[in-house]
Amino acid sequence: MPEPSHPPIDHSDVPIRLFKSDFLEFFTHISPVAVLVIWTPVVLWFLVSVILRVLPGDSWLFIPAGLILGVFLWTFAEYMMHRFVFHHKASSNLGQRVFFLFHGVHHAQPQCKTRLVMPPVVSIPMALIFYGLFYLVWGRLLGVPQWIGPSFAGFIAGYLAYDMIHYATHHFSMRQGYLKFLKRYHMQHHYKTPDARYGVSSPLWDRVFRTMPA
């Protein structure tokens, strides 16, 4: 089993099979449309629910501020997970197999259309964990529970943007402006520097942590 950062690249149209079981294999494939269908209502629910709770005369500025903060926090989470979780170099055979399932298979077959966005069996537990962190920090530690809704909505919106951008970098032309930069940046991660350029929706944290090659 190859290490997840440097698997051999397979350009065939047949997806690499990960499980002998057809049932388990089914859950390793997902369309970006399914991601939008699952998570867009979550963003709207958290956003609308907090808007409806704002009383006449109360300030509502925390709502756009929370959204922006949530998106910003997502960019940091995206970088940290991509660098330290998805590209973790396990020493044991079992660990290598697990991280190949998580992300190595994408580097082994980067153009596979059904493995470019995060499947719900991964994204839903992760979202619950992050919601717990938002609840702990805003609701318990800082005592500002009204910030949970907008910031978590922004966080999930950032995740949606990340997944759609990731799919687009592999399958859309993206020939102009910032999108062209993101496509080239991510392709360099795949084909030139798999241990650098971890940002997909933004290169911000690559600059901060010096993982953006000259």
pLDDT at 136 over 80: yes
Closest to 82 measured CA to CA, from 209, 196, 213: 196
Q: State the average pLDDT over residues 169-195.
A: 94
Output the pLDDT for position 11: 65
- pLDDT digit string (tens) for 104-127? 888 989 888 888 899 999 999 999
174: left (phi over 0), alpha (psi -120 to 50) or beta: left
- pLDDT digit string (tens) for 26-61? 988 999 999 999 999 999 999 999 999 887 878 899
- The count of other CB atoms within 10 Å of the CB of residue 37 is 10
Instruction: Please enumerate in sequence order all residues whose Cβ is within 8 A of that of 150, keeping only pairs 6 or more positions apart, or say none.
Output: 46, 47, 50, 62, 63, 64, 65, 66, 67, 70
Output the pLDDT for position 7: 54
Output the pLDDT for position 90: 85
pLDDT at 93 over 90: no
Q: State the average pLDDT over residues 172-181.
A: 92
Angle, alpha carbons 74-78-83 (nearest 5°): 155
Output the pLDDT for position 78: 97
Q: Compare 209 and 99 and report the one with higher pLDDT.
A: 209
Output the pLDDT for position 4: 41
Output the pLDDT for position 6: 52
C-alpha 134/C-alpha 139 separation (Å) is: 7
